[in-house]
Amino acid sequence: MRPDGQTQPRSRGTLRGGSWHALARLLIAVVLWILAAPATAQPLLVDGRGAVPVWPAVTVLSDPEAVLTPAQAGAAVAQFKRHEGTASNLGRSASTVWLRFPLTVPGSEPVHRVLQIDYPLLHRVDLYHLHDGQIATQARMGSMLPMSERAMQSRTHAAPLVLVPGAHEVLLRVQTQSSMVLPITLRTHEDFTAHESREQLVQGIGLGLALCMLMYSLTQGVGLRDTLFFDYAALVGANVVFTLAYFGIGAQYLWPEFPALSLKVAPMAVMVAVAAGTRFMAAALAVHEISPLIARLLRGVSLGAVLALVATLLDLVDYRTAQTLVTVLGLSTTAMVLPAAYIRARSGERAACYMLFGWAFYTLGAVVTAGLLRGLVEPTFLSQHVYPFSLMIEMAAWMAVLSLRVQAIHRNADRARVETEALRALAQTDALTGLPNRRGLQQHLAAVLPRATPQQLLAVYLLDLDGFKPINDRYGHDVGDALLVAVGQRLQKQLRGGDIVARLGGDEFVVLANGLADEAAAQRVGQKLLSAFDTSFDAAGQHCRVGLTAGYALAPLDGDTADELIKRADAAMYAGKQAGRRQVQRGGRSLAAA
């Protein structure tokens, strides 16, 4: 009512409340009718395209008891429903599944096509091609069939179809203990060949790189005798076997007539990878230094993977249990090792940084693959290959860890060699003067004696200081030690570069002079040594004067062994002492004064 009491005119564009309710009820009824109606798919048009994706026309019927026959499944068209989840992927399913899709072939000539399901791990696929209500083609596929019994001997599940013009229907009965990943494509024979060639090329490149890594690790392991390289080799080898099984290459070329291996190879390869990878990570990160408890747990995981491998070999566990075991063991390893790697990386260790880098890519591949196997990711080329790609990057990153290991081994070897040489030098060197000691003298004699000839004589001088003891008693050991050092230095200055000065102990020195022409040359060297002591020495601030008495023997004239030469030189030296000191005498077969 208007304010003046008259009735307000009704707008033409306005519906009464009852009309709105009626329209809403009608819309709801239409929606419910649509939802309740059987899901029918538009037939696929088989035209000149090389590859026609089938999934847009696929409807699905679950057969939990696996009791439906092809005729019953074909008659139950109204029960087939469109899959509302991820395209081409039903995820994990323990039941048998029927897939249906219609085809339309235009023209007047038959066409030849290949139906391909590009997921090799499906265990059993039965194909029924119906035309005019009759089965025109029947084919068996699946990884549980020997290669000779498959419709086409290829790594994937493929069957040839001859399609005459008109309407067709295809039924697929799928059974598997794995995930129902179903990328179905209708291809021309040329496109199927090209597709498989590209896949074989990709797998060949990956296999070649993996074999290079394998050979590198094995050769380094043998050469360096380091078990870390053998663990890496086992890890790479296991990943290669898993990839060959996952993409059907192994079933096509390695075990074509032993389909039962297809159920075991993939999880067994992962078990080997877990066992070897756990050992590799624990050693590369030196986990025992961070946490002995984690190190023991990792050894337990590695042992558990080996036991799971044995149980799978003996058929004590089924396929799904084996998958669960490797998943739990792999996650346990990662959970325990990641903290250790993080601690090492924070301290700047490059090996840990490389391992974390590899883990990042591996995690990406593992997450995508887990989503694929659980029906959350559509099976495209990238999603199906991301795991082996990420695995290859991880293995390359871990090879960098091996290169660091090689560098560390070489550094340790160099350090050990330097330390050994230093210890050897200390063992052969007089600690006071830095001259060779008795052992060092023996080494030098062993080297030069074989080269001594009557034309190239070796003179062995035994020198004893005259007047050293009174100086040592008067001024003390500090001055005495300083005097011995100065004596050694003065003797070295009188000799050629190849001659040797050694200290036997106390105030006794030995000089080796090789390449002398005759006894006169040896006598001149001895006189030169004697004359060097005409000048006093400055020893710790004290001016000291000492003399020298020397006896020598010539090789090979006076002897051809070190002991014989030193003994005769010593006898000559004592003869010189008795004759009045400050002399040089030869200790020949009969002593003669020089």
Q: Which residues pair with 180 in a beta bridge?
A: 91
118, 185 in Cβ contact below 8 A?
yes
Partnered with residue 114 across adjacent β-strands are 160, 187
User: Which of the following is catalytic: 118, 191, 464, 507?
Assistant: 507
Residue 527 reports pLDDT greater than 80: yes
Query: Is residue 21 very low, low, confident or very high in pLDDT (cuts 50, 70, 90)?
Result: low
57-75, pLDDT tens digit by residue?
A: 999 999 999 999 999 998 8
Q: What is the pLDDT of residues 163-205, one digit of tens each?
A: 999 999 999 999 998 889 999 999 999 999 999 999 999 999 9
Mean pLDDT of the chain: 88
Cα 263 to its chain centre, rounded Å, is 27
What is the spatial distance between Cα 237 and Cα 231, in angstroms, rounded to a whole number? Answer: 10
**What tens digit of pLDDT does each residue of 366-403 get?**
889 889 988 999 999 999 999 999 999 999 999 999 99
For 54, the 3-state DSSP assignment is coil
pLDDT in tens, 137-153: 999 999 999 999 999 99
414 is catalytic: no
55 with 14: CB under 8 angstroms? no
Beta bridge partners of 129: 137, 170
Query: 10 Å Cβ neighbour count for 172?
Result: 27
Backbone angles phi, psi at 327, to 5 degrees: -65, -45
| Coil, strand or helix at 97 | strand
Residue 574 has pLDDT above 50, yes or no: yes
Mean pLDDT (whole number) for 106-131: 94
Percent of residues, the chain, with pLDDT higher than 70: 92
Q: List domains and CATH numbers for the chain.
A: 44-189 (2.60.40.2380), 204-414 (1.20.1070), 438-586 (3.30.70.270)
Distance CA 540, CA 180 (A): 93
Predicted confidence at residue 491, as pLDDT, reads 93
Can you give the pTM of this predicted structure?
A: 0.71
User: What gap in Å lies between CA 266 and CA 239, rounded to an integer?
Assistant: 9
> Does the pLDDT of residue 308 top 60, yes or no?
yes
* 287 pLDDT more than 90: yes
